[in-house]
A and B are shown apart, each in its own frame.
Chain A
């Protein structure tokens, strides 16, 4: 009896403790409110549960190459141009489209005008001197050689011959020759007034300050709608509304004033199921998790809103042009013909993302489907539609004979068996591989799935040192049999000329082994074309080299684009009165249009 009494007492203590906690427990709205600046917010703090936590806020630190770092900074530092949900540039800090003037010597001068009344969050004016400072600091290479790589890519900046500030809002930049990616430059303008005047010293100071977003004990001022507030490592980061914010000019923005929320709290929740539970339990207002896990569940629940869009990241199968089989254009074309992208879209993507992605898959590696200049070159060429008969005919024209096992073999090169590799553990990619594998088998092509863990895959397969040697030496050096087909993603953007960098002869990122002087010259020509429409058409021509045999019948067609990677977020419809534009068309994350978020 005494024993029972003791257990009863213990149970009572536990129950009482639980009740005390319950009685004093959190409210239904766990997302609470935070301090806000003058004229800011007032609708509470937006809580975003996200899986990644940056190591620091140094965007170009190669050890910190996480997307989340850029997403956070986009809400704090604005640049001359922004990128809209159509993956197109729009003037962000600029008053309008700058004037482009060409000179007889081939040099090009762009005359910029900043918007009136731009301010940093600490009250200082944001002027043309800040833009000049950003340029000088990034270019201070000699004095800061050991760390300057951290601060910015100099492509396009290194051909600037003059940078002239004419007034607080006006400045001109002259390039020795036209640089097609000029709008992509100065994506962030840095605050001159908090760093040393000497560019080299400023570069050194920024190299430290950007890690903690703190210079000399003071938080770095913002030009965007949010100001850095606090970072509890491993737990959360807080950003508050910028009371000096000059408003957004994004074509996607509904609210062009200050943020409607007091701030944003980013909770770092590494587990995707836990993110979903955080949204359901009211501990988060927004999540950007793996769509296949949450989309269907939230899509049918009135308490949540889901939004998806076609992002700039695209999946493709890259072919090793030095593989015994793949060096034959007929084999590459057979793969392109047999690939059924519609099947992949219908089976994996359309049920989740509806018509935000084209049902026939992606047919261009320069322009994405949501961009105005997109053209589907692969469909036009008859590829990607699962044409098994045409694929077989191509293989037979190259001397392949169908074996008893239903797989083709070449009299001298053997059985047509190809390995496809990707970063293991990515469910969507693995399912994609399996769907395509089945289709290729129908065409008599044996596809062996050969994935490796994320960290290992790149170095072990497409970017293996010996494989790169092979690709860059025309197959004369290194090991050309490290990989056959690589499935991975490249990132597009509003200026697709950067894509040529991975296709040019001898480029460090040209894993395919494609080498074509005509292509290289054409890529130069495209990048030198000043007229936007002509340049866009030129990039579409370059695309034909990569995805068809039209321009290069021998070594063309080495990329099989499949689909854009859809981006997605889910928000609480009950706790948010409004939210920013669908998610990630420009790879900028939800903070780009944070001013449109409002809590109930």
Chain B
């Protein structure tokens, strides 16, 4: 197991370096940090020269990534010119804000996905299954920004008009008290849950249907095990293996910043920071967020691989 983990970690290093190189070259080739400065030349000549120096714009785009790598290895990810802070600080602060939203969203959607998968699979083609299937398709069809805006209008405008109560804030992270935080985090989390659970529950239902009609489940039932034991102990574990892959990808994506949800709810996470970085363009911040996203993706894929072995002991890490 340890050898497997070490091998996996080592094998990701060239992948990470390659990805970083391509991102750096790609962003450099498609962005022009001097665009706005050209408008105020010659007044801004000194500023112009400064930006040329910061981003080494006088060098070839194929060579520029190496200087960035050199600094990054020493722990210096540069300074975000767009946000006026070191990239390390931005990643930490914004990353924590994103995690604050992503972790509950992931846990709730994972839990709901499992429950709904089991329920729908056990009562296939029942009225409830049709209703849940309908909602899942609706969740899959609706774009995230639409779900977010509808929740804002419903809870921020309509519900207070009908009831005189306004339980949730429709935007901005508020940290005045735990209650305020809950009030401001609920709608973005709900948006992510609605979008995530739709896909996960469909996926889980399909897996569960396949498993509960397999021979070993029939054998378990024939042995006289209770239905709940058959489902929750024997069937679910196997049905979860493909779901774990999906969760690893989803959770990694959530932790890397949900651009749309965070933007709509003015949540100061990594998503809006990434948009700012790309539009400025702020190359150091783009690189910082990209490397973080890459590391998170690699780590969660590794965790998913390890979970396969726990869920199904037949899987070996040779």
Point out residues on A near B: beta carbons under 8 Å.
Answer: 2-3, 7, 10, 18, 21-28, 30, 49, 55-56, 61-65, 145-146, 148-150, 153, 155, 211, 233-236, 267-271, 273-274, 277-278, 280-283, 454-460, 463, 468, 508-509
A267 touches B157 (CB 8 A): no
A235-B183 contact given A63-B81, A150-B47, CB 8 Å threshold: no
A277 touches B166 (CB 8 A): no
User: Among A24, A234, A269, which residue has its beta carbon within 8 angstroms of that of B171?
Assistant: A269
21 contacts between A and B (CB under 8 A): A24-B179, A28-B164, A62-B40, A145-B46, A148-B46, A233-B93, A234-B173, A235-B266, A267-B266, A271-B263, A274-B152, A274-B265, A281-B156, A281-B157, A281-B170, A283-B169, A455-B281, A457-B35, A459-B34, A508-B42, A509-B41
A64 touches B156 (CB 8 A): no
Residues in A whose Cβ lies below 8 Å from that of B156: 277-278, 280-283
A454-B266 contact given A62-B51, A283-B170, A463-B39, CB 8 Å threshold: no
B94 touches A234 (CB 8 A): yes
B160 touches A277 (CB 8 A): no
A153 touches B43 (CB 8 A): yes
B149 touches A55 (CB 8 A): no
Residues in B whose Cβ lies below 8 Å from that of A468: 38
The number of chain B residues touching the other chain, given as a range, is 35 or more
CA–CA, A280 to B156, complex, Å? Answer: 8
Residues in A whose Cβ lies below 8 Å from that of B45: 149
CA–CA, A581 to B187, complex, Å? Answer: 35
- Quick one: CB contact mask for B236-261 with A, threshold 8 Å, 1 for yes? 00000000000000000000000000
Q: B268: CB under 8 A from chain A?
A: yes
CA–CA, A364 to B50, complex, Å? Answer: 36
Q: B30: CB under 8 A from chain A?
A: yes
Distance between B91 CB and nearest chain A CB, rounded to angstroms: 13
CA–CA, A211 to B163, complex, Å? Answer: 45
B44 touches A274 (CB 8 A): no
CA–CA, A150 to B37, complex, Å? Answer: 12
User: Interface-forming stretch among B82-90, B99-107, B214-222, B291-299?
Assistant: B82-90
Distance between A9 CB and nearest chain B CB, rounded to angstroms: 12
User: Among A26, A273, A456, A458, which residue has its beta carbon within 8 angstroms of that of B166?
Assistant: A26
B35 touches A455 (CB 8 A): yes
Q: B21: CB under 8 A from chain A?
A: no
Residues in A whose Cβ lies below 8 Å from that of B182: 21
Residues in B whose Cβ lies below 8 Å from that of A153: 43
User: Among A18, A271, A458, A509, which residue has its beta carbon within 8 angstroms of that of B32?
Assistant: A458
B50-102 residues at the A interface, CB under 8 angstroms: 50-51, 80-85, 93-94, 97
Q: Shortest 5 CB-CB distances between A and B: which pairs?
A: A234-B268, A281-B156, A62-B47, A459-B32, A22-B167
CA–CA, A274 to B160, complex, Å? Answer: 17
Residues in A whose Cβ lies below 8 Å from that of B39: 458, 463, 509
Nearest CB in chain A to that of B182: its residue:
A21
A463-B171 contact given A28-B166, A269-B266, CB 8 Å threshold: no
User: Among B84, B170, B173, which residue has its beta carbon within 8 angstroms of that of A277?
Assistant: B170
Distance between B289 CB and nearest chain A CB, rounded to angstroms: 14
Chain B interface main SS type: helix
Residues in A whose Cβ lies below 8 Å from that of B139: none
B85-140 residues at the A interface, CB under 8 angstroms: 85, 93-94, 97, 115, 119
B167 touches A21 (CB 8 A): yes
B35 touches A456 (CB 8 A): yes
User: Among A18, A26, A55, which residue has its beta carbon within 8 angstroms of that of B169?
Assistant: A26
- Beyond A49-B171, A149-B43, A274-B263, list 8 extra A-B contacts (CB 8 Å): A26-B169, A65-B36, A149-B47, A267-B266, A268-B172, A271-B266, A277-B171, A509-B39
CA–CA, A270 to B262, complex, Å? Answer: 9
CA–CA, A155 to B94, complex, Å? Answer: 40
CA–CA, A462 to B279, complex, Å? Answer: 19
Distance between B226 CB and nearest chain A CB, rounded to angstroms: 10
Residues in B whose Cβ lies below 8 Å from that of A145: 46
B149 touches A277 (CB 8 A): yes
Residues in A whose Cβ lies below 8 Å from that of B168: 21, 25
Residues in A whose Cβ lies below 8 Å from that of B145: 271, 273
Nearest CB in chain B to that of A52: its residue:
B276
Q: B48: CB under 8 A from chain A?
A: yes
Residues in A whose Cβ lies below 8 Å from that of B32: 455-456, 458-460
CA–CA, A62 to B82, complex, Å? Answer: 10
A64 touches B84 (CB 8 A): yes
Residues in B whose Cβ lies below 8 Å from that of A3: 119, 228
Residues in A whose Cβ lies below 8 Å from that of B228: 2-3
User: Among A2, A10, A211, A267, which residue has its beta carbon within 8 angstroms of that of B84?
Assistant: A211
A235 touches B275 (CB 8 A): no
Residues in A whose Cβ lies below 8 Å from that of B48: 62
B36 touches A458 (CB 8 A): yes
B36 touches A62 (CB 8 A): yes
A25 touches B37 (CB 8 A): no
Residues in A whose Cβ lies below 8 Å from that of B37: 62
A455-B279 contact given A274-B149, A277-B149, A277-B157, CB 8 Å threshold: yes
B47 touches A463 (CB 8 A): no
Distance between A311 CB and nearest chain B CB, rounded to angstroms: 18
CA–CA, A6 to B15, complex, Å? Answer: 46
Residues in B whose Cβ lies below 8 Å from that of A27: 166
User: Among A155, A267, A270, which residue has its beta carbon within 8 angstroms of that of B272?
Assistant: A270
Distance between B167 CB and nearest chain A CB, rounded to angstroms: 4
Residues in B whose Cβ lies below 8 Å from that of A234: 83, 93-94, 97, 173, 268, 272-273
Q: B290: CB under 8 A from chain A?
A: no
Residues in A whose Cβ lies below 8 Å from that of B268: 233-235
CA–CA, A454 to B84, complex, Å? Answer: 22
- Quick one: CB contact mask for B170-202 with A, threshold 8 Å, 1 for yes? 111100000100110010000000000000000
A22-B165 contact given A233-B85, A459-B38, CB 8 Å threshold: yes
Q: B153: CB under 8 A from chain A?
A: yes
Residues in B whose Cβ lies below 8 Å from that of A24: 179
A268-B44 contact given A281-B156, A455-B35, CB 8 Å threshold: no
Distance between A289 CB and nearest chain B CB, rounded to angstroms: 13
CA–CA, A155 to B40, complex, Å? Answer: 13
Nearest CB in chain B to that of A454: its residue:
B279
B149 touches A56 (CB 8 A): no
Residues in A whose Cβ lies below 8 Å from that of B160: 28, 281-282
Residues in B whose Cβ lies below 8 Å from that of A274: 148-149, 152, 170-171, 263-266
B172 touches A269 (CB 8 A): yes
A278 touches B35 (CB 8 A): no
Distance between A430 CB and nearest chain B CB, rounded to angstroms: 18
CA–CA, A568 to B44, complex, Å? Answer: 30
B263-288 residues at the A interface, CB under 8 angstroms: 263-266, 268, 272-273, 275, 279-281
A55 touches B84 (CB 8 A): yes
Nearest CB in chain A to that of B112: its residue:
A10
CA–CA, A278 to B43, complex, Å? Answer: 39
B205-243 residues at the A interface, CB under 8 angstroms: 228
CA–CA, A49 to B265, complex, Å? Answer: 12
Most chain A beta carbons < 10 A, residue from B82, B84, B145: B84
CA–CA, A65 to B165, complex, Å? Answer: 41
Residues in B whose Cβ lies below 8 Å from that of A273: 145, 149, 264
User: Among A18, A235, A455, which residue has its beta carbon within 8 angstroms of that of B167?
Assistant: A18
Nearest CB in chain B to that of A24: its residue:
B179
B11-46 residues at the A interface, CB under 8 angstroms: 30-32, 34-46
Distance between B115 CB and nearest chain A CB, rounded to angstroms: 8
Residues in B whose Cβ lies below 8 Å from that of A55: 80-84
B264 touches A56 (CB 8 A): no
User: Among B81, B153, B165, which residue has its beta carbon within 8 angstroms of that of A25?
Assistant: B165
CA–CA, A7 to B128, complex, Å? Answer: 13
Residues in A whose Cβ lies below 8 Å from that of B280: 63, 455
Distance between A385 CB and nearest chain B CB, rounded to angstroms: 31
B38 touches A463 (CB 8 A): yes
Nearest CB in chain A to that of B271: its residue:
A270
Residues in A whose Cβ lies below 8 Å from that of B46: 145-146, 148-149
Residues in A whose Cβ lies below 8 Å from that of B94: 234
